[in-house]
Amino acid sequence: MKIVTLKVKDEYYNIAEEMVRLGLAKSKNEAFNLILFYGISKAAEEIQRKKRVEELTEKWLKEGLPFKLPTSLDVISERE
């Protein structure tokens, strides 16, 4: 593996930092490698997906799930 210094657009740098912040990459180096491998559009798509997951998680933690999950009593009553 070789070390290379690159100049990138601010947009690409911000995407790499966002990937690290969201946990999609462990470092900016890994983020840039993923961007090179998958492409900038796929990286941006994954960022949007991860942000949506975080939004829904926060919403559901505050408001509760939008559906009723079965409890152990529900399962037991169905078996009887």
pLDDT of the residue at 21? 95
CB neighbourhood size of 17 (10 A)? 13
Predicted model pTM: 0.73
Report yes or no: 60 and 66 within 8 Å, Cβ to Cβ. yes
80 pLDDT more than 90: no
pLDDT of the residue at 50? 95
pLDDT of the residue at 9? 93
Number of residues written out for the chain: 80
CA–CA dist 52, 59 (Å, integer): 10
Report yes or no: 12 and 40 within 8 Å, Cβ to Cβ. yes
CB neighbourhood size of 18 (10 A)? 18
Least confident range from 16-20, 23-27, 59-63: namely 59-63
